[in-house]
Structure 1
């Protein structure tokens, strides 16, 4: 039976973002299967994993972490399959004799526009080598797989889309009683909060007086203009990073979720919102329409008027909101962590 060694560092962070949430959901499900698992990290595990039968190896963080993991894999050459859900460094460092499975969430590093410089350089330098050396490669959506194969045609025969599942929503149903337009994501140009704020500013006064725009997410990069615009716009409130319980509470009480990103590899927030029966507005870029299906109002994220029109459409049309609330949960049932892990195991 295969031994899975997994980089779970991002899942162990106190403030998990997209890739960390994906890793957390994937590992949660894999721990329920009959496999020997080695969890490789640089800090303590989430409490809910502490009672599992998995082996835990903690190495100091930084670049030395990757070197230590590489040495560990070389010593366990014939026993281990290494799953790398958030980094391409180890898959690029080790030889082909070691079975590695990198997970590609997006190709943001190869997109035009501003992005985290360190991540951009590392991914551009290492992704091709990591894919070439890999036993298999996984993506979180068909869209990301298509982007990857378009850039690296050789990846076609070894790459499988395994998608994702919703978070563990602890509340049931959406009450929409707080009159909130909710946007969840790290502040950055790619997440497009600045255009969203400007679109909100253009809404009729009758809607702005009734609905407030809540931005939930930690600071990212090139975010000063976003923060300044939020602080100087009546009805807009940036509340910073929120923990899972608060995130679920916001979903339970908001009127709609907005994800106007310029590019996303998946869009976990859309899946969570649809599961809760929350009407969704999303952009027509990246994989967002793939995840949302026909259960969202789709806009051009580069056009402030398009975003404004989408907001106004959902806020003003009760029958549309009702349809999205009914159809969203049905769409969300297409995705689950069980399905993701099943697809992963079938692919290897």
Structure 2
């Protein structure tokens, strides 16, 4: 049997969300797809940075634009694979009858103001048709499954839910993680801080984070800074203006995109991780924070409760005062903080890339 895998999103240099998912899934599929002939399709300028079994072959495909719909379609037409696995929601026009696609979320439907008109039209076309064309649709959360069924009419028996995995760094020790953090100086912040990691965009509610931070500073006089780590996204200009008019603008630190190593360091140093997003298909940053022994404040929307479990303090994303109060509880109440960190450490154990890949492999080989 010949199996094709779309690896075009997995091997970009600065991976975020879906790209990281694609990378980890493909990496962890290797031991489960070790008998069939596997073709890993990547762009001509991408490099696969891990070893592949002998039965796997890399196919570098060149095309300037519309790589998936034109170049990958052509390759499948000529190569005649029996099955295709698409980890990043875009099924090509030409595809085998047995195609498995992963749908990560319908953010553009629920947060339309965070996307341009053309982006919304394109995403709706791509994902709706992917759900229609695929023989099996994998959703990364029960919430995404419900959204796909409700908005696009995808049959329930066609959908499987497979949670994302997590395989981050281990902390120095659980006791060290709960009772203390790395020095603030090592993280180049110079003061205790509240942390957000993710794309700096409207959908992530970054302006709401700034509002909550101002409330904490104004009401309780804490010495903390707010650190925002991530590359700019849609609506960044308005977010930047909001920072500039803040009374506490000198306490807001923008780090831009951070590497995995840098992210691990700033997570370990943080006092609280704040993630009051408006919508997520999954919510991997929550697990990253919990794995680093950092208590989490997040929003009770979309897939977040599935991922964070009982190991976070929740708030309505529009309720900046409750977000602020939750932050202060974790800053000021050592017992509450330690309890939330312990819960987080246990919660992360529910998610494994190996388990995720095993379940996907079984579907691909069906």
Q: TM-score higher than 0.5 here?
A: yes
3-state DSSP class of the match of 2:127? helix
What is the number of equivalent residue pairs in this alignment?
343
The 10-residue stretch of structure 1 (222-231 or 243-252) with the greater mean CA deviation from structure 2 = 222-231
Hey, what does 2:43 align to over in structure 1?
42
- What is the aligned partner in structure 2 of residue 71 from structure 1? 74
Q: Aligned equivalents of 1:166 and 1:24: distance in 2?
A: 12
The change in CA–CA distance for 1:64 and 1:16 in structure 2 (over 3 A counts) is closer
Query: Aligned partners of 1:166, 1:27: CA distance in 2, in Å?
Result: 14
1:274 and 1:3, CA in 2 relative to 1: closer, same or farther beyond 3 A?
farther
Corresponding residue of 2:273: 257
How far residue 205 of structure 1 moved from its aligned partner, in angstroms, is 4.9
Task: Judge conservation of contact 1:139–1:161 (CA < 8 Å) in 2.
Answer: yes
- Aligned residues of 1:100 and 1:135 also touching (Cα < 8 A): yes
Asked whether 1:86 is paired with 2:88, we answer yes
**SS at 1:150 equivalent:** helix
Q: Following the alignment from structure 2 to structure 1, what is the Cα–Cα distance between the partners of residues 140 and 261? A: 25
Please give the alpha-carbon distance, in whole angstroms, between the structure 2 residues aligned to 1:235 and 1:110.
Answer: 34
Query: Gaps spanning 5+ residues in structure 1: where?
Result: none
Displacement of 1:207: 5.5
Q: CA deviation at 1:89?
A: 4.8
Deviation at 1:18, TM superposition (A): 0.4
Match of 2:101 in 1: 102
> How well do the aligned residues superpose, as a CA RMSD in angstroms?
2.2
CA-to-aligned-CA distance 1:203-231 (integer Å, 9 cap, x gap): 14585542211100101111112123334
1:56-97 Cα offsets, whole Å, 9 max, x none, are 1222342144312112112333x432122224251xx125x4
- Give the 3-state SS of the residue equivalent to 1:169 in structure 2: coil
Deviations 1:116-157 (A, max 9, x none): 334321121232322122111111111111211122343311
**C-alpha distance 299-110 of structure 1, shift in aligned 2 (>3 A):** same
2:299 and 2:326 mapped to 1: Cα distance?
10
| Structure 2: tracts of 5 or more residues without a match | 185-191
Distance 1:41 1:184 in 2: 28
Instruction: Summarize the Cα distance change of 1:75–1:318 in structure 2 as closer, same or farther, 3 Å threshold.
Output: same
2:302 alignment partner, SS class: coil
The alpha carbon displacement at 1:112 in A equals 4.2
Question: Within 5 Å, which residues of 2 pair with 1:126-141?
Answer: 126-141=126-141
Corresponding residue for residue 298 of structure 1:
314
Q: Given that residues 166 and 275 in structure 1 are in contact (C-alpha distance below 8 angstroms), is that contact kept between their aligned partners in structure 2?
A: no
